[in-house]
């Protein structure tokens, strides 16, 4: 009897839930294995795998877990640096200078983490890595093949990168979310699918699960959802050796229970393993909807995660508030985006997101007027007068103007014309990268009278090259040769609007991506004419920030502040543009970079707030951030 009782006690101790141990809530034991969540796509590409993967990470992070992410792009390019914006959208730049897919921007914004260039895996990187090892003799004369050498390299890369800390706490991640680009069945993705087929056994089943995102179309002719494409996609995935633990069904409209049960039945998963994600007004709804469908419980059970009970709710409440706020805003602010690649909005993905973050923080609904810079040029008036006048009409009705980054001469004169109009009519203006350079050219031509002033990129023969190529640029090679990544900018004056928006700090760090810079030889004359260079790099020779004092908001930055804008931490230059466009910038600065209670409640007029109280420019220590105060 005593032996039986001892045996029963032993069994009870082994079956005791992990959550009852003395391990801190939301933390796995020191020896716990890394958990991997692979996100694949079926039927078509571009159905939101990146947002789904980011939302999964957000939900798990809200449970107190440390999350990192990896994006796999099965193209042979080494990185995204030389991509056309029309093909892949914007090139997103990381702190370490990595030029990567824009989906990594989603991960950073959703999870508020800092990724590295190795978090983006491409076929080109893997093959380059394997070929370099072969050249060094690491394979000892063996025949180098896709299996096992390429597949092993993929697995080793994933395991190595998954352990790299991605936040300020420097804690090792506990969960790695991996998005496999493209769709299942693509020939270029086969080595990666095979690698993960092997990987699930390498790391053990309890440490690996697969989320399959598939389209459930609803033809207008029938009006009913069709499950056959999803069934075929799951069948193909299983044929390649991976079984989905979770199927996320993407659709235009909400899917009925009958359709969900049908997918469950024919795809051999439980109904609770089928999540429905229809189109929503804003991406802030996605984590909320996924959590409501029990995704935390599914992952906790499948991966043996330590999820505290009751779960922390603070982060998810913030996302819920953002989603509700985005829907209920009434007042509108219109920003004219004057660019070169406006036919594809993904080309300016981070700029658009940064504008949205700032507008949301200011309690305004954002309306963007996309204006093709070429249509503002005088030549367009003769060729296509309707387009010319329509473009100028859109520019004139906007509350503010932004000229984002870009390359090449096409549309440059249109951007310069838009900047001249914004300067003369005192419309709030923000120039980013090329936008700053165009502002310097415009000022040189129309204020200093240097009519042929130009950039060496656009007109190498100009007698006034106010924009020149940086000496460190390697002529003849395009990929990875720009000034990239996080760099320090030092403010050289207290009298700067942008410095106040950055909480009056002496230095800031922002990400860069450019080959050309302001010619320092012309800076004294430009400053004498009224254009102020209020921020420079650590050498004091490279111009980083310009301001025109006699203007509500005329700011140009050589860096790309949109890359580190977050939904809960909007970028200061973008905040300045939105506030100035709403007529609220002066009051905001007088209150120490705070919105008034009336503005926070989203009532009242949208003009400049009532006379600001006598509050010092910065009432709180500089260690406090703009972002926390706004929200």
Range(s) of the chain covered by CATH 3.40.50.300? 29-323
Residue with tokens 């997918």: 263
User: E strands of 286-361, at which residues?
Assistant: 332-339
Q: Phi, psi at residue 35, to the nearest 5°?
A: -105, 135
Contact (CB, 8 A) for 368 and 577:
no
For residue 257, how many other CB atoms are within 10 A of its CB? 9
Residues 214 and 42: beta-carbon distance below 8 Å: yes
**Alpha carbon distance 144, 131 (integer Å):** 9
User: E strands along 363-453, which residues?
Assistant: 365-372, 400-403, 429-432
Provide the pLDDT for residue 154.
97
User: Does 433 qualify as catalytic in the annotation?
Assistant: yes
User: What are the backbone angles phi and psi of residue 276, rounded to the nearest 5°?
Assistant: -105, 125
What is the gyration radius of the CA atoms in the chain, in angstroms?
A: 27
User: Rounded to an integer, what is the distance from CA 241 to the centroid of its chain?
Assistant: 32
The pLDDT assigned to 86 comes to 80
- DSSP H helices in 485-625: 497-501, 523-528, 572-581, 585-590, 597-600
For the structural domain made of 29-323, what CATH number should be given? 3.40.50.300
- Of 225, 544, 562, 590, catalytic: 562
For residue 71, give the 3-state DSSP assignment. strand
Is 268 annotated as catalytic?
A: no
Predicted local distance difference test score (pLDDT) of residue 599: 58
| Torsion region of 223: left, alpha or beta (phi above 0 gives left; psi -120 to 50 gives alpha) | left
Domain with CATH 3.40.50.880 in the chain: 330-580
> From CA 459, how far away is CA 465, in angstroms rounded?
8
pLDDT at residue 23, as a whole number: 41
166 Cβ contact list (under 8 Å, min separation 6): 68, 111, 113, 114, 115, 116, 119, 173
Q: Which of 176, 210, 433, 582 is catalytic?
A: 433
| DSSP element (H, E) containing 555 | strand 554-557
Q: Tell me what pLDDT residue 146 has.
A: 95
Q: What is the pLDDT of residues 424-478, one digit of tens each?
A: 999 999 999 999 999 999 999 999 999 999 999 889 989 999 999 887 655 555 5
CA–CA dist 247, 358 (Å, integer): 34
CATH code of the region 330-580: 3.40.50.880
- Residues, the chain: 631
Rounded to a whole number, what is the largest CA-CA distance in the chain? Answer: 103
In the prediction, which pLDDT does 627 show?
Answer: 35
Low-confidence ranges of the chain (pLDDT < 50): 1-2, 4-5, 7-31, 603-606, 608-631
Active site residue 267: no
Options 212, 514, 560, 627, the catalytic residue: 560
Which pLDDT score, from 0 to 100, does residue 324 have? 87
Distance, CA of 327 to CA of 323 (rounded, Å): 7
């Amino acid at each position: 009897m005593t032996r039986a009782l001892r045996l029963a006690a032993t069994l009870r101790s082994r079956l005791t839930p992990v959550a009852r141990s003395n391990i801190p809530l939301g933390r796995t034991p020191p020896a716990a294995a890394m958990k991997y969540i692979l996100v694949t796509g079926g039927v078509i590409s571009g159905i939101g795998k990146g947002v789904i993967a980011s939302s999964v990470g957000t939900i798990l992070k809200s449970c107190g877990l440390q999350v990192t992410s990896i994006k796999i792009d099965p193209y042979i390019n080494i990185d995204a640096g030389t991509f056309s914006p029309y093909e892949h959208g914007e090139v997103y730049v990381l702190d370490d200078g990595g030029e990567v897919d824009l989906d990594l921007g989603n991960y950073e914004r959703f999870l508020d983490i800092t990724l590295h260039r190795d978090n983006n895996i491409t076929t080109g990187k893997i093959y380059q890595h394997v070929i370099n090892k072969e050249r060094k003799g690491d394979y000892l004369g063996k025949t180098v093949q896709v299996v096992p050498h390429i597949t092993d390299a993929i697995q080793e890369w994933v395991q190595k990168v998954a352990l790299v800390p991605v936040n300020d706490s420097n804690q090792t991640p506990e969960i790695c979310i991996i998005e496999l680009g493209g769709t299942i069945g693509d020939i270029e993705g086969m080595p990666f699918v095979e690698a993960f087929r092997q990987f699930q056994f390498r790391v053990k089943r309890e440490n690996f699960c697969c989320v399959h995102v598939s389209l459930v179309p609803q033809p207008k002719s029938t009006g009913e959802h069709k499950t056959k494409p999803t069934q075929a996609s799951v069948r193909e995935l299983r044929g390649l050796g991976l079984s989905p633990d979770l199927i996320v069904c993407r659709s235009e409209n909400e899917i009925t229970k009958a359709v969900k049960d049908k997918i469950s039945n024919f795809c051999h998963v439980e109904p609770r393993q089928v999540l429905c994600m229809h189109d929503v007004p804003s991406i802030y709804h996605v984590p909320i909807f996924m959590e409501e469908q029990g995704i935390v419980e599914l992952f906790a059970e499948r991966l043996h995660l330590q999820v505290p009970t009751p779960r922390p709710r603070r982060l998810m409440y913030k996302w819920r508030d953002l989603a509700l706020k985005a829907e209920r805003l009434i007042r509108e602010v219109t920003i004219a985006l004057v660019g070169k690649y406006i036919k594809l909005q993904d080309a300016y993905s981070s700029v658009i997101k940064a504008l949205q973050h700032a507008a949301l923080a200011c309690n305004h609904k954002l309306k963007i007027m996309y204006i093709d810079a070429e249509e503002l040029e005088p030549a367009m008036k003769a060729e296509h007068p309707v387009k010319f006048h329509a473009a100028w009409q859109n520019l004139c009705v906007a509350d503010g103007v932004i000229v984002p980054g870009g390359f090449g001469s096409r549309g440059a004169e249109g951007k310069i014309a838009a900047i001249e109009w914004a300067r003369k009519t005192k419309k709030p203006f923000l120039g980013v990268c090329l936008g700053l350079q165009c502002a310097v050219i415009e000022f040189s031509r129309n204020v200093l009278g240097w009519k042929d002033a130009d950039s060496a990129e656009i007109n190498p023969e100009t007698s006034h090259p106010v924009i020149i190529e940086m000496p460190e640029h390697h002529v003849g090679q395009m990929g990875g040769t720009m000034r990239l990544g996080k760099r320090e900018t030092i403010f050289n004056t207290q009298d700067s609007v942008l410095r106040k928006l950055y909480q009056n700090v002496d230095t800031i760090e922002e990400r860069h991506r450019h080959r050309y810079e302001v010619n320092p030889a012309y800076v004294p004359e430009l400053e004498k004419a009224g254009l102020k260079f209020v921020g420079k790099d650590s050498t004091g020779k490279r111009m980083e920030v310009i301001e025109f004092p006699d203007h509500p908001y005329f700011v140009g930055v050589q860096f790309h502040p949109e890359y580190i804008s977050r939904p809960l931490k909007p970028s200061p230059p973008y905040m300045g543009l939105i506030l100035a466009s709403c007529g609220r910038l002066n009051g905001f600065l007088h209150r120490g970079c705070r919105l008034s209670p009336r503005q926070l409640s989203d009532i009242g007029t949208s003009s400049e707030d009532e006379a600001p109280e006598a509050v010092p420019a910065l009432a709180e220590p500089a260690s406090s951030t703009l972002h926390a105060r706004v929200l």
